Every structure is written in C-alpha cells, then in structure tokens.
Chains A and B, each alone.
Chain A
C-alpha cells in the first residue's frame, strides 16, 4: 500500500489510457504515456527510458490482448518492479475488462499477426470506455484505498458526463448508420460497431502485413462493386495506400486521429470521439 500523501505513478502504454487515467486518478497523480499518437503501438522499442519509467510505476494501464507483446513483457522483466508484474497487482489490461471483437475461432500465422484474444483497439467504443472507467477505478481503489472517495467521485463525475456525451454522439451519428468504409488495419472496428458503420475492406492484406499492390487491386474491386465512399487510416499508418485508392476512384481518403493527440483538437477522450464523428459526418456529406 502507498504511504500517506504519496502520488500515484501511472504508466500508460498508449495515449488513450493516459487520458482515461487523467479523468479518474487523483489530481496529484503522475501520468506518463509510453507512446504518442504518431507511434504504432505494435512496434514500440523496449527503450531504456521506458524501463526507468516503469520501474517507478504504481499502475500500468495498457490495451492488452497482446497488442504490446513485443515490448511490454521486456519492460516488466527489466524494470524489476514487483508492483506491475501481474493483473492482481498494479497491471491493468483494458481488453480483460470488456468483450472483445474479432476473436478468431482458430489462430495460425498464415492469417497474419492476429491476436488470439481478439481486437485490442477497444478504446473507440463509448460503451466499452464506460465499463473500462469503472474497472480502472476499482484498480485505483485497490492500490490506493485512502483516496477511494476521490476515485469514486471522479468516476461518478466522468460517467455522468460520458453518458450525456454518448447519447449526444448516438444522435449525431445517425446519418453514419450503414456507411461502408475501407480502413487500414482493424484499428477502428469498435468505433464502427458503435456508429453502425460497416468496414467492408482492409488496406492490409492480413493483419500486420503492409499493403501490397495485388491486395490493393482487390480492394479497388470492393470499392467499385460496393460503391464505398470513404477510406480511413491514422497518423502512424502510411497514407500511401489510402491516397492511391483516392486517386483511382472517387473514394475520399481521411486521416482520423485514432487516439488522444492524433490531431490538435483531440485533447481528451471526449474531444477525440467528437473529432471522429464530426470528421466522418463532414466526409460523408462531401460525397
């Protein structure tokens, strides 16, 4: 247990979880994000600076479902920090606390870099984010009981604002229902589910493999056959494939923020979702 007055050190694997921690932790918590919106969380190096950050962490909050498998286990091993080794203590994996999409019936590598535990990009569905907020608050209370009232108060406040916003987003997003879209990777699956959109193609031939020209030709067929109007990707993904598709057809290529910091307006979880919806609405109206 933490000594009285101690600040909680929170290590977030991705910016969206740093933002969630910011909503829920006490004011004096130190929150650090290991990655930025410009970095693909699949391909992060177990850098010396991250080892020393993790050494001091009381809580580590990550997406889980093997998204960070190439670096998180190395940081845990090298940080010698007994508090963040298991989910029984200070480790919190978001995908453990919500129902995951895309859980394969069978996994083998011929399918690409598929996650056995399902799609780890869970932070783009507001309903799941509400569940994550509740679960993460329980973790904060477990680790820092004396501040439990603060955490409970923060959670209630967040949930109230989040539910109001969620209802508003559902209203705003009505025109997006049924909208067909091509995306890069399965990064936006949870948001498409929330918005009732349909991802009919992927720029990646298989998860984790970069777009190839033969695969893009098959995506081109999908675009033509299904009259797809929109292709989306994010800041850490190469824009070339989406732009190629835009040049070949009348599809619109759109870079979405994906996470907090992904563009200058996406400053927290609320403005991130607002950005996504308004950008998608604007793009769909252009067509």
Chain B
C-alpha cells in the first residue's frame, strides 16, 4: 500500500515536471480589471465624432478591459503574442482580439520586424497596455483622438541606431480597420513614423522623448463604430436650446478624408539612487496636433409642406485641433502612490466654437504586491459645454500568471 502510494507520487511528480518543461517558455497571464464608477451618461467630447470607447468608464459596475494574454518565443527567430480583451457595449460582452503578432528577435542590422495585429507605437501611452497605466481611464486627448488606444492589423519595421545614445526609428503600416481608422479596407489605411530617444541625466533621473506621425485615410462608407446611440449626431432635446452656441455634435463616422496626427511625448522618471522600490516619481506629457482634410457629413432638417425630413450634406473641411495631457505620479512607499492628471483639447470649428473640453483627475492607489492594485480616482469632467460631471471610480486591477516586463 505504502509502496503504491509512493509510486503514484513519483509518477505524478514526473508528469508535473514534464508539463513544466513543455510550458517553461510560455507566459500566460490574465488581467482582471473591475470596478465601480459613479458618473453621468457620456454626452460626447464637445461636438467631435467619437466612438463608444471614447466614453471612458461606464456608470455602475464594470468589467472593462479584462484581458488574457499568451506570449512565448516561437523559435530562435520569432516571438509571438496573443491578447484577448473583454469589453462591454450596450450590455453585451464582446471579445476583441487586441493583439496577435509575431516579432523577430534576431534580425541583422539592428532591425526588428513585427506583423499581425498590435498596438501602434506612436506616442508614449499608445503602445502600452492600459492595465499598466497609473489611472483608471485614458486621458481625454487619447479617448478623443485615439479611441483610447489604436491597434490594427499591419506591420512594423523598427531600427535601433548604432549609437551610444538610444535612438529608435520606426515605421508602421496598417489596414485602417479599427477606430479611429476606417478606410476602405483594401490596402493601407494608416501609416506611421516615429522616433524615440532617451537616456539618464544621472543615477536617479532618466528621460525619454518621442515624436510621431500617424495618418489615416478614412471613408465613412466603410465605418462601423460603437456609436454612442443611433441618434447621437442629431441634437438632443436637452441640447436643442444650446444648439446655436456650441456647434453641432457629429458621429464617429461623419468624416471622410485624411486625418493626420503629429504627436510629441516626454517622460521623466526619478527614483532616489535609481532604486524604484520605495519611492519614485514619473512625469509625462503628450501633445497632439490633428489635421482633418476632407468632407464632413451632416444632416439638415428640411420642411416641405407638412413633411419634415433630413437631408444629407457634405461640407468640405480643412481643420486643425490640438490637445495634450500632463500627468504626475508619485509612489511614496512600496504600497502607496498618488497621481494628478490634466487633459484639454482645443477643437476647431465645426466641432466646437471656442469651448475647450477638459478633464482634471486625481488618484490614490494601494498596491498590495506587484500584482494587485486598488485605485480610487476622481475626475472633474468638462467634456461638453454647460455640464460638469464629477466622476468617482473604485478600481481593482490585478494580474494572474506570468509577470510581464514593462516598458519605460
């Protein structure tokens, strides 16, 4: 009896060891991101055409952006990663494939190539997973212009300059199939260029700056969005009386033409003697210049006899928006961090005639370990004129499984 038990134990032990050996290099991780938000319904960002993702956190309980990721070296030449994200829209849970890419690990001439679906590397935040953010939602400027974050099917080539200083150059081409891109889907609907550099001022202070361009060729005929309500681009009953002074609200698909983004980003990190465990501070900022050249669709109400009907109009537009965010996060003990963020957008007409949407955010977070964060966040949201929303969020952001390495 004893002997057979021992045999079973040995067999199990061997089996477990084999499983370990086979899965050694495969990283499986899940991010559980749940919380509760108290806020008013999303009313848009000035009159700009945005998708439902731009709304930020939903009112009440949410399980937004809970994700499962699997990554591993494929062989000595390739690395691969798949990320599935669960998102909710109108009460339905949707599974989105956010990443499915291969990347070379051993190309000559300091080159690296990535293909598949992945997050564009423009800007500072876009290439990062939202669960590594220091705030519960993306800054206003990202929600308005990047739909939170821009990922798509495409390819990237990047090159690390053979210099003592870190200089990375990269270019990407995308299909243009996910917001904020909606191209005809045949060929290349978006392309980008970016350069990043950085270094250390000294042992305690490090920095990184980047400049990026991304251009979209959008066509309203090929747009499908999670629009926030079918009739959103018609004036709300509530808004009607203000119609005159704050411009028209447009849908996410109302623009056709070229959208060009120019982004600069800068990040500074400090930790005493470079020891990040007990105390550190991160200051980061990004500035967006967005040009739209093309046609803007809108509906105009006409009255003929007793019939009232909407007539489609297309106006030529050539407009320029700017926006930015600045955020500072101070981790003052291994367990506690606090942060402030401000984001503002200056939209051109006809999306806004002078009103600048802005959001101020403060957060306090407790990290029990490297893997669990509980965050309390307050935002004063002035996304639409004549209305200020006080938003309070309690977020639980936790990681199961493999401990991923983080970007600077």
Contact = CB atoms under 8 A, between A and B. Distances in A.
A76 B104 CA distance: 11
B333 interface: yes
B113 to A, nearest CB: 10
A236 B275 contact: yes
Main secondary structure of the interface of A (DSSP, over half): loop
A284 interface: no
Interface string B100-112: 0001011110111
B403 interface: yes
Contacts, number: 120
B407 A109 contact: no
Contact of B371 (A45, A72, A81, A109): A109
A238 B278 contact: yes
A36 B203 contact: yes
The interface centre, meaning the residue of B76, B198, B274 with most chain A CB atoms within 10 A of its CB, is: B274
A119 interface: no
Interface in A214-244: 236, 238
Interface in A91-143: 109, 112-113
Interface size class of A (residues with CB under 8 A): 35 or more
B274 A46 contact: no
A48 B206 contact: yes
Nearest to B208: A48
B235 interface: no
Interface of B: 76, 79, 103, 105-108, 110-112, 158-160, 162-168, 196-200, 203, 206-208, 269, 273-278, 333-335, 368-371, 400, 403, 405-408
Contacts of A80: 107, 110-112, 158-160
A52 B162 CA distance: 8
Nearest to B198: A48
A69 B274 contact: no
Contact of B160 (A36, A52, A209): A52
Interface in A144-172: none
Contacts of B369: 109, 112-113, 208-209
B335 A210 contact: yes
Nearest to B111: A80
A76 B408 contact: no
A47 interface: yes
B273 A38 contact: yes
A51 B167 CA distance: 10
A283 interface: no
Given A42-B277, A86-B76, A47 B408 contact: yes
B405 A73 contact: yes
Given A52-B163, A112-B369, 7 more contacts: A39-B276, A45-B406, A47-B200, A48-B166, A48-B206, A82-B108, A236-B273
